[in-house]
Amino acid sequence: MTTDDDRIAYLAGETSGERLDEPERAELDEVRSLLADPSTWAEPPADLEASVVAAVGEAARPLASRPTPRRTRRPALGLVGVAAAVVALVVLVGPGGEPTNLEAVLVGTELAPGAEGQAVLTKTDAGWRIELDATGLPRLDDGRFYQAWLKPDDGEAVPIGTFNEPDGVVLWAGVSPKEYPTLTVTAESASDGTAASGDRVLGGPVTEP
Amino acid sequence: MPAPGGGHGGVSREEVVGFRAGDPDSVRAVYGAYGRLVYAVAHRTLGSRELAEEATQQTFVKAWQAASSFDPERELGPWLATIARRTAIDLHRREARRPVAELSDAVLNDQVVVDMPPGVDRAYDVWAVREAIDALPDDERTVVQLQHLHDLTQSEVAERLGIPIGTVKSRSYRAHRTLAARLQHLRDVVE
């Protein structure tokens, strides 16, 4: 019968484990391999703490006072990820009382359950500028692409642009998100022509708080 | 999953509440308790220091953003480990930029839309082992590191550290006894 000392000695690499049965050796081999793995011992750089504190502090600032999100490695704002379809919005109101700045949280659908993202919608003279970032969606190429839409509560969705991967995408809408308050992303194929595929991968509502 | 260890790994309930509010001192406290573990999981999954740093930063930001849904009575470690793992997976997918063949044919939970990095299946085990290592006294941890990571014999460890081999043996025994006991749940998972 093996003892704790037999297991300890094998774990320490002092014996060949001949007194252990195969399942015990396999279990301890798992631990030994992790003890030998450089990742297990990897130390974060000393300045990472400050970066983390700064990043959380930036995220905790009121949305209205934040600059437009930039994709930088450090400090990075990080994407707004939520467990449920919760919408985080800020509305800046222009001189006429109409919102000029909106945000939306996007969650993945059954086709892409790991996807999530955010969009910042800004009113300009040229239309609504929409900056979209998302993760969990693979790049599409070779005639396949993503398409974003703004959809009203009733009626047809309006296309606002196509892209290959949702990384720092800028889209434009000639309709108001107030009247088309749902933003969706679908996966499309050029061979299908202009008809929408209906394959929603990401979506979320755009509303006033 | 990381085994429950009771409490929040040295983080007080007040600091957890403060973390939810984005209080810098509380964020430092949570990072101090879990930053290394998050980084180890990220590094294991991504295999890159730069990406591991980015994943670690994003993990804490995402944790703060989701903190309102976190019950302060629960274990913080497993919750952070899950966020760290998921964040590393997302970063891996972003960096890999692999196309999915037929997204429209994918069904719920179809693996064709799940692009998993090679080290992710042991992410929770890395967390548990790193947590166990960090809990060792410094002198024992050094011996374990030299034995396993640097693959030194006990004689070589003694020579490297300039201490008697008997001291190395006793430190090694105590350390591995502790590790074997703490990592029992890993063995249960493997079974």
| CATH number of the domain within which A99 lies | 2.60.40
The answer to the question of residue A186 being in a domain is yes
For chain B, residues classed under CATH 1.10.1740.10 are 1-99+117-123
Does ipTM come in above 0.85?
no
Interchain proximity A187–B36, CB inside 8 Å = no
| Largest separation between any pair of C-alpha atoms in chain B | 66
Q: Which CATH architecture has domain B1-99+117-123?
A: Orthogonal Bundle (1.10)
Q: Which of A13, A55, A111 sits opposite B113 (nearest CB)?
A: A111
What is the DSSP code (8-state) at residue B99? P
In tens, the pLDDT along B73-105 reads 788 888 999 999 999 998 888 887 655 544 544
User: A16 and A97: one domain?
Assistant: no
Interchain proximity A43–B36, CB inside 8 Å = yes
Q: Check residue A207 and give its pLDDT.
A: 65
- The residue that leads in pLDDT, A176 or B97, is A176
**B86 contacts on A by Cβ (under 8 Å):** 114
Mean pLDDT value of segment A57-65: 70
Q: Check residue B37 and give its pLDDT.
A: 95
Please tell me if residue B50 touches chain A, with a CB cutoff of 8 Å.
yes
In tens, the pLDDT along A10-26 reads 999 999 988 888 888 98
In tens, the pLDDT along B154-164 reads 999 999 999 99
The answer to the question of residue A54 being in a domain is no
For chain B, residues classed under CATH 1.10.10.10 are 136-191
State the pTM of this model: 0.59
Interchain proximity B61–A140, CB inside 8 Å = no
* Reported confidence tier of residue B187, pLDDT bands at 50, 70, 90: low
Interchain proximity A60–B187, CB inside 8 Å = no
* Reported confidence tier of residue A66, pLDDT bands at 50, 70, 90: low
Interchain proximity A30–B125, CB inside 8 Å = yes
* Reported confidence tier of residue B9, pLDDT bands at 50, 70, 90: low
Tell me which of 1.10.10.10, 3.40.50.300, 3.30.465.10, 3.50.50.60 is the CATH number of domain B136-191: 1.10.10.10
User: A83 and A32: one domain?
Assistant: no
Q: Residue A65: exposed, middle, or buried by beta-carbon count in 10 A (0-12, 13-18, 19+)?
A: exposed
Q: Say if residue B44's pLDDT is above 70.
A: yes
**B113 contacts on A by Cβ (under 8 Å):** 111-114, 138
Q: Check residue B176 and give its pLDDT.
A: 97
The answer to the question of residue A83 being in a domain is yes
B89: which residues sit within 8 A by CB, 6+ positions away?
A114, B45, B116, B117, B120
The answer to the question of residue A69 being in a domain is no
Q: Which two tokens stand for residue B129?
A: 């082992």
How far CA A33 is from CA of A30, A155, A186, in Å, comes to 5, 58, 43
Q: Say if residue B55's pLDDT is above 90.
A: yes
How far apart are alpha carbons B152 and A19 in whole angstroms?
A: 23
Mean pLDDT value of segment A142-149: 86
For Cα atoms A188, A162, A111, give the angle at the middle one, nearest 5 degrees: 40
The answer to the question of residue A198 being in a domain is yes
Q: Check residue B110 and give its pLDDT.
A: 46
User: A121 and A170: one domain?
Assistant: yes
Q: What's the CA dihedral at B115, B119, B120, B124 to 10 degrees? A: 180
In tens, the pLDDT along B112-152 reads 445 677 777 788 899 999 999 999 999 999 999 999 999 99
Residues 120-139 of chain B with CB under 8 A from chain A are 122, 125-126, 129-130, 133
User: A11 and A108: one domain?
Assistant: no
Comparing A182-191, B14-23, B57-66, B104-113, the range with the smallest average pLDDT is: B104-113
User: A89 and A155: one domain?
Assistant: yes
Number of domains, chain A: 2
Residues 158-177 of chain A with CB under 8 A from chain B are 165, 167
User: A29 and A113: one domain?
Assistant: no
> What is the separation, in whole angstroms, between the first and last Cα of chain A?
67
Please tell me if residue B112 touches chain A, with a CB cutoff of 8 Å.
no
Helix (H, G, I), strand (E, B) or coil at A202: strand
User: A86 and A29: one domain?
Assistant: no
User: A106 and A193: one domain?
Assistant: yes
Q: Which of B90, B98, B149 sits opposite A135 (nearest CB)?
A: B90
Residues 61-100 of chain A with CB under 8 A from chain B are 73-84
Q: Check residue B167 and give its pLDDT.
A: 97
Interchain proximity B113–A57, CB inside 8 Å = no
The answer to the question of residue A31 being in a domain is yes
Q: Check residue B70 and give its pLDDT.
A: 81
The answer to the question of residue A55 being in a domain is no
The answer to the question of residue A70 being in a domain is no
Please tell me if residue B111 touches chain A, with a CB cutoff of 8 Å.
no
Helix (H, G, I), strand (E, B) or coil at A153: coil
Phi and psi torsions of A10, nearest 5°: -70, -40
In tens, the pLDDT along A87-143 reads 444 444 455 556 678 888 888 877 777 788 888 888 887 788 898 888 888 888 778
Q: Say if residue A81's pLDDT is above 70.
A: no
Residue A155 structural domain: 79-205
